[in-house]
Amino acid sequence: MKKHLVTLALLVTGTWGAGSAPIADASMPGAVQPLAPGQRKASALPTLDWSGRPPEIERVEFASNGNIEVAHALVLVTGEADPDRWLYLVRQSVDGAFGERASLHEVDVSVYRAETYQGFGGPAPVMTASVPKARLHEFARKGLQFERLWVQRAHLALESSPPELAGREQGLKSTEASENLFYHGSEQRWEAALTFDDSPHPLYEPLLLDTLSRSKVHATFFCIGRNARVYPHFISDMTRQGHEVANHTYHHVRLPALGNSAVAREIELANSILEGLTEQKCRLFRPPGGEYSKQTLKVAEELGMTTVFWTDDPCDFDNPGEAVIEDRLVEHLRPGGIVLLHDNVEETIEILPRFVRVADRKGYQLMTAGELASRQNQ
């Protein structure tokens, strides 16, 4: 138990003792890390380049929500762990992007090892940063101590079968669905929940949070634990802006094929990360890909989680087009509804203000899933 708790604490902080040898990240069979596009290819994002850019800066893309622009730099490094070198490349990325495009509001950076880089769903980055233009001088001054910079001290191992989780598996006596299931809110109230799966993502997260802020709407973010661990600054942004942070497992693995202890481990590891960052209990859960079994739901219940379903899924992840997403959202909007969207779809960010205005004209109040559930019997 003690060993497991220490491991969870290290996962939350992203640090490891200086004398510890690096250990390879555990892989999770069936884990799928989402990255738009889905079934249909999304439009290519515009890129930035500048004279003297270090070759390790692989790509710098930017996007807009119509009000602010955000850039994301992908950096690929080789050789021994060298946080000072990584920081230099982060600074080059930030300074170069702001210098090339003065209209940028923020620059995010993800530093990966080139030899193991497999895209967003592969091994985790070794350093990330999120630098708003307003805090550029602070970043230049603080460097590695900058609040919105995360560095992985070593690769962390995830224990395969903590004893307390195995014991909890033995304690599961029923495969019947529990009462800890939330399908929809009250059908007598003109209210609906706005939820986003697969959070957080660099580049898109600040655009989405800015859009929600301008629309004066709070939402529930179902966060992947491994994403939250390496982009903790976005989780802090969500909490500070009044949004709800919920559990979407640690690896975004499909759960029905896993044993009870593995399912419990996925949920608990994600909770340890999210609760460590938000200092709030995480009680809401949604299974990745919407795939679950009766036993999956029972494990979640045993862990004190409420599984949140949805009434309105416009399949925005497949990039069907802004008009299609908007039409589907409006068509299926209903009292007590739960809207399922994704945080890294540019089309969703584009249509979201229009959908909020339509919902408002129809008399709906949009809110978090937790708030909708709490008002169900009022």
Are 82 and 146 members of one domain? yes
Last residue of a domain, one of 151, 173, 189: 151
Whether 2 maps to a domain, the answer reads no
Are 204 and 86 members of one domain? no
Active-site amino acid positions: 197, 342
Are 187 and 324 members of one domain? yes
Are 358 and 221 members of one domain? yes
Which two three-digit tokens encode residue 212? 């929600």
Range among 149-153, 235-239, 286-290, 342-346 with highest mean pLDDT value: 235-239
Domain span at residue 134 reads 25-34+42-151
Mean pLDDT, rounded, for 352-368: 98
Are 370 and 283 members of one domain? yes
Three-class secondary structure of residue 113 per DSSP = strand
Whether 220 maps to a domain, the answer reads yes
pLDDT exceeds cutoff 60 at 171:
no
Backbone angles phi, psi at 58, to 5 degrees: -70, -45
Confidence band of 35 (pLDDT split at 50, 70, 90): low
Distance CA(337)–CA(178), nearest Å, equals 21
pLDDT exceeds cutoff 80 at 249:
yes
Confidence band of 154 (pLDDT split at 50, 70, 90): low
DSSP letters for 204-215: HHHHHHHHHHHH
Whether 244 maps to a domain, the answer reads yes
Whether 206 maps to a domain, the answer reads yes
Look-up: residue for tokens 């990360």? Answer: 273
Are 194 and 141 members of one domain? no
Whether 165 maps to a domain, the answer reads no
pLDDT exceeds cutoff 50 at 157:
no
Whether 5 maps to a domain, the answer reads no
Whether 141 maps to a domain, the answer reads yes
Q: Which alpha helices (H) appear in 101-171, and where do they start and end?
A: 136-142, 163-170
Cβ–Cβ under 8 Å, residues 295 and 171: no
Q: Which CATH number fits the domain that encloses residue 266?
A: 3.20.20.370
Confidence band of 41 (pLDDT split at 50, 70, 90): confident
pLDDT of residue 42: 79
pLDDT of residue 10: 43
The radius of gyration computed from the CA coordinates of the chain, to the nearest angstrom, equals 21
pLDDT of residue 72: 99
Are 224 and 353 members of one domain? yes
Residue 256 Ramachandran class (φ > 0 left, ψ -120 to 50 alpha, else beta) = alpha
What residues form DSSP beta bridges with 54?
none
Are 233 and 129 members of one domain? no
pLDDT exceeds cutoff 80 at 32:
no
Confidence band of 145 (pLDDT split at 50, 70, 90): very high
Look at the chain and report how many structural domains it folds into: 2
Are 223 and 147 members of one domain? no
pLDDT of residue 198: 96
Are 146 and 75 members of one domain? yes
Are 64 and 211 members of one domain? no
Are 204 and 336 members of one domain? yes
pLDDT digit string (tens) for 55-76? 999 999 999 999 999 999 999 9
Q: Which CATH number fits the domain that encloses residue 143?
A: 3.10.310
Whether 223 maps to a domain, the answer reads yes
Last residue of a domain, one of 104, 136, 151: 151
Last residue of a domain, one of 134, 151, 168: 151
Q: Picking from 142-156, 270-284, 338-352, which range would have the lowest pLDDT averaged per residue? A: 142-156
